[in-house]
């Protein structure tokens, strides 16, 4: 079994793990990060896209609110290319608790969360699609943050700084020497090979899997899993983030992201990190709540639904209760203090908005243990990759419009304006020829037809680049992944779209009769 060694091994490639690895690289540590899936496959990629102003937590969780307000400003400085500055509104409707807006506004002022009251008429001028029966409206500094862009930027920054990111590598065993963790046994999922990595320190940033990873070192981490479902509408009737001004609850937010608007979220306790099945009632509830804020959503087509699993901390004192009631602030467990086990810190819970702060806090603790004097530089180091700034649809449209007809590139995915050169570049840039990786990078197949047309084209292009690859970029698994997001919305126009995809791939192309791919 090959043995490698590094100073710091980070387990988990979500925003927290990548943030820790980036922070460690900037402090001069030698870092390896392992992730069992692809970038954004876990909780970080399965969220609604909100860069919190802090307003959501001013009453229920003041520390989180204050942290969000600060980190919101930091991220706008260091990663502007991942953020659309939509601004946000908190709306009180006639059905919400009447005393809440007053208390909420006072708490914002006390905690330094910027909020400004505007009239309902002004709000309707800004966003004509809002419910005209709103009673009070506050403006906040929300934004919409593309987590795929963020995770890509973090990965690139880690690699630039000399760190390593290994996707599709799963930790199977933690190896102890006395009461110190010295190594991890890791399986490369593509080749099924086992290898061992020795390290001076380990960070468990595996989100909903944190309990399972900790248990490899015989440590109990009291974690509760709160599944949150979201629905993306095929249109974007509002351009500002719309929050319901009431205590945090199911279905209290609408986030405009790219070409769609995302309705979030539910909170249902589940037993497994992989349990992301969406129940019909969740979809119905989200649509009904969304309609209260923006009535015209009743006539729009839902495009796709997905669920993420929040890793929440359940202190032993709280035995029962809704996952919604559990704190949202970050949890950092130093297992040396807590369990007498040297060399491991677990970090989970928290919000994507404060991933950088969580990483800083973790690395301060790691450095203390390792007697390293380096300080954090992430708050002032830009993450933006200038060379890859064509992600936003309006940018793509602008770029295509200024192009003369002589060098107009082929548009392969009409919904998201993904061109052939962009796909070719992404396929070369990615370590695999997987169409789902291309999707995460370019939004291929994420528009109204959900890859019904472009999946075939992209498979053809992938095959031209790598003729020996037998699976054509995993065409069937790509279609299955798109299908799963439509199944919870399988009625009306969405089901018609699903049927069109089946007509194309089964009747016209006879995809199901292809011989099984050979490995």
Partner 1 sequence: MTDVLIVGAGLTGLFASLLVAERGNAVTLVAQGRGGLELSHGCIDIWGRATPSRALSQLRKSHPYRLAGTAALHAALEFFEEITQQAEYPFPGSISRNLHLPTALGAIHPTALAPQSLAQGDLFDGTPFTLAGIDNLLDFYPQLAASNLRRAGIAVQSVLELPIPMDDTHHDFYTSDLAHFFDKPNWREEVARVWKPQLIGIKRLGLPAVLGLRDPQHVLEDLQERLGLTLFEIPTLPPSLPGLRLEVILRRRALNTGVHFIEGPRVVGRIDGGSDGRRVSGVVLQTVGGPRVYTADVVILATGGILNGGLVFQQDGRVQESVFDLPVNYDQGRGYWTTTSPIDSQPYSGYGLLVNDLMQPLDDKGAPIFENLYVAGGLLGGADRTMEGSRQGIDLATAYRAVEVALG
Helix (H, G, I), strand (E, B) or coil at 454: helix
- Binding to partner 1 (CB under 8 A) within 498-517 occurs at 498-515
Q: Which of 191, 340, 518, 519 binds partner 1 (CB under 8 A)?
A: 518
Using CB under 8 A, count the residues that bind partner 1.
52
Cβ proximity to partner 1: between 194 and 509 the closer is 509
Burial class of 377 by CB neighbour count within 10 A (0 to 12, 13 to 18, 19+): middle
Of the candidates 44, 56, 57, which has an alpha carbon nearest to the alpha carbon of residue 16?
44
Which range in 86-94, 125-133, 380-388, 492-500 contacts partner 1 by CB under 8 A? 492-500
Rounded to the nearest whole angstrom, what is the least distance from the CB of residue 505 to partner 1 in the complex? 7
- Shortest CB 450 distance to partner 1, Å: 10
DSSP 515: P
Closest CB to partner 1 among residues 218, 480: 480
| DSSP code of residue 342 | B
410 binds partner 1 per the rule CB under 8 A = yes
Residue 115 phi/psi, 5-degree rounding, is: -150, 140
Instruction: Compute the distance between CA of residue 519 and CA of residue 517 in angstroms, rounded to an integer.
Output: 6
Shortest separation between residue 229's beta carbon and partner 1, angstroms? 14
The Cα 429–Cα 442 span in angstroms is: 12
Measured from the CB of residue 423, what is the shortest distance to partner 1 in angstroms?
12
Query: Are 252 and 242 in contact, with CB atoms under 8 Å apart?
Result: no
Q: How far is the CB of 497 from partner 1 (least distance, A)?
A: 9
Q: How far apart are CA 226 and CA 323, in angstroms?
A: 6
Minimal distance in Å, beta carbon 100 to partner 1?
31
Between 287 and 331, whose beta carbon lies closer to partner 1? 287
Phi-psi region of 97 (alpha: psi -120 to 50; beta: other; left: phi over 0): beta
Question: Which single residue is written with the structure tokens 């330094």?
Answer: 112
Q: Is 496 in the site for partner 1 (CB under 8 A)?
A: yes
Q: Is 4 in the site for partner 1 (CB under 8 A)?
A: no
Q: Which of residues 252-281 bind partner 1 (CB under 8 A)?
A: 280
How many angstroms separate the CA atoms of 437 and 165, rounded?
15
Helix (H, G, I), strand (E, B) or coil at 146: coil
Pick 87 or 409: Cβ nearer partner 1: 409
Among 408, 421, 429, 431, binds partner 1 (CB under 8 A): 408
Q: The tokens of 507 are what?
A: 């009747």
Q: Could you tell me the smallest distance in angstroms from the CB atom of residue 444 to partner 1?
A: 14
CA distances from 89 to 122, 149, 242, 379, 424 (A): 11, 24, 5, 27, 40
- What is the rounded CA–CA span in Å between residue 255 and residue 241? 5
Q: Which of 266, 272, 264 is nearest to 224 (CA)?
A: 272
Q: How far is the CB of 468 from partner 1 (least distance, A)?
A: 9
Of 146-154, 229-237, 304-312, 487-495, which part binds partner 1 (CB under 8 A)? 487-495
Residue 318 interacting with partner 1 (CB under 8 A): no
Q: Which residues pair with 260 in a beta bridge?
A: 257
d(CA 313, CA 308): 16
Min CB(250)–partner 1 separation in Å: 18
Of positions 159, 275, 491, 519, contacts partner 1 by CB under 8 A: 491
What number of residues does the chain have? 519
Q: How far is the CB of 463 from partner 1 (least distance, A)?
A: 4
Q: Which of 213, 359, 367, 412 binds partner 1 (CB under 8 A)?
A: 412
Pick one of 124, 370, 411, 430: the residue that binds partner 1 (CB under 8 A): 411
- Please report how close the Cβ of residue 443 comes to partner 1 at its closest, in angstroms: 18
Q: Is residue 284 a contact residue for partner 1 (CB under 8 A)?
A: yes
Which residue do the tokens 């440590």 mark? Answer: 219
Backbone angles phi, psi at 345, to 5 degrees: -125, 135
Work out whether 197 is an interface residue with partner 1 (CB under 8 A).
Answer: no
DSSP string, 202-242: EEE--GGGHHHHHHTTT----EEEEEEEEEEESS---SSEE
Query: To the nearest whole angstrom, how small is the minimum distance from the Cβ of residue 388 to partner 1?
Result: 24
Site string for partner 1, 453-472 (x = CB under 8 A): x--xx-xxx-xx--x--x-x
Report 434-453 residues binding partner 1 (CB under 8 A).
453
**Which C-beta is closer to partner 1: that of 73 or that of 503?**
503
Instruction: Name 333's bridge partners.
Output: 346
Site for partner 1 contains 480 (CB under 8 A): yes
Q: Which stretch binds partner 1 (CB under 8 A): 32-40, 260-268, 404-412, 435-443?
A: 404-412
Q: Dig out the tokens for 74 from the structure.
A: 């930091």
Which residues here bind partner 1, judged by CB under 8 A? Answer: 280, 284, 287, 405-408, 410-412, 453, 456-457, 459-461, 463-464, 467, 470, 472, 475-476, 479-480, 483-484, 487, 490-492, 495-496, 498-515, 518
């Amino acid at each position: 079994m090959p043995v490698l060694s590094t100073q710091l091994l980070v387990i988990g490639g979500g925003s927290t793990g990548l943030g820790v690895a980036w922070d460690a690289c900037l402090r001069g540590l030698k870092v390896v990060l392992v992730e069992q899936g692809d970038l954004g496959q876990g909780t970080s990629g399965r969220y609604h896209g909100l860069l919190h102003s802090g307003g959501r937590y001013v009453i229920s969780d003041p520390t989180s609110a204050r942290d969000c307000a600060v980190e919101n400003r930091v991220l706008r400085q260091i990663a502007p290319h991942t953020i659309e500055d939509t601004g946000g509104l908190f709306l009180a409707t006639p059905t919400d608790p009447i005393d809440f807006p007053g208390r909420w506004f006072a708490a914002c002022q006390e905690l330094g969360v910027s909020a400004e009251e505007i009239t309902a008429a002004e709000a309707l001028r800004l966003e004509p699609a809002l419910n005209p029966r709103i009673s009070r409206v506050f403006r906040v500094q929300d934004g919409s943050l593309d987590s795929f862009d963020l995770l890509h930027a973090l990965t690139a920054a880690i690699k630039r700084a000399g760190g390593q990111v290994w996707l599709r590598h799963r930790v199977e065993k933690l190896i102890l020497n006395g009461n110190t963790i010295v190594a991890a046994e890791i399986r490369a999922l593509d080749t099924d090979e086992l290898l061992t990595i020795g390290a001076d320190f380990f960070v468990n940033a595996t989100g909903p899997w944190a309990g399972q990873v900790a248990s490899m070192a015989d440590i109990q981490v009291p974690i509760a899993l709160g599944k949150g479902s979201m629905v993306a509408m095929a249109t974007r009737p509002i351009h500002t983030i719309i929050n319901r001004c009431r205590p945090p609850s199911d279905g209290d937010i609408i986030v405009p992201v790219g070409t769609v608007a995302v309705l979030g979220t539910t909170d249902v306790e589940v037993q497994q990190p992989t349990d992301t099945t969406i129940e019909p009632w969740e979809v119905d509830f989200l649509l009904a709540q969304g309609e209260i804020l923006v009535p015209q959503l009743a006539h729009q087509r839902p495009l796709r639904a997905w669920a993420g699993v929040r890793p929440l901390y359940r202190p032993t004192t709280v035995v029962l209760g809704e996952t919604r009631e559990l704190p949202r602030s970050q949890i950092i467990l130093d297992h040396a203090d807590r369990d007498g086990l040297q060399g491991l810190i677990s970090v989970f819970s928290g919000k994507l908005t404060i991933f950088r702060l969580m990483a800083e806090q973790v690395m301060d603790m790691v450095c203390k243990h390792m007697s390293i004097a380096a300080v954090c530089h992430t708050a002032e180091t830009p993450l933006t990759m200038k060379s890859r700034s064509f992600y936003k649809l309006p940018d793509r449209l602008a770029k295509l419009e200024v192009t003369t007809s002589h060098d107009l590139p082929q548009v392969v995915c009409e919904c998201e304006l993904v061109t052939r050169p962009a796909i070719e570049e992404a396929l070369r840039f990615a370590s695999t020829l997987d169409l789902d990786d291309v999707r995460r990078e370019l939004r291929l197949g994420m528009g109204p037809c959900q890859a019904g047309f472009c999946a075939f084209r992209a498979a053809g292009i992938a095959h031209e680049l790598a003729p020996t690859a037998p699976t054509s970029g995993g065409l069937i698994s790509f279609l299955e992944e798109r299908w799963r997001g439509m199944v919870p919305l399988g009625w009306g126009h969405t089901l018609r779209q699903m049927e069109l995809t089946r007509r194309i791939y089964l009747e016209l192309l006879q995809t199901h009769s292809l011989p099984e791919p050979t490995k």
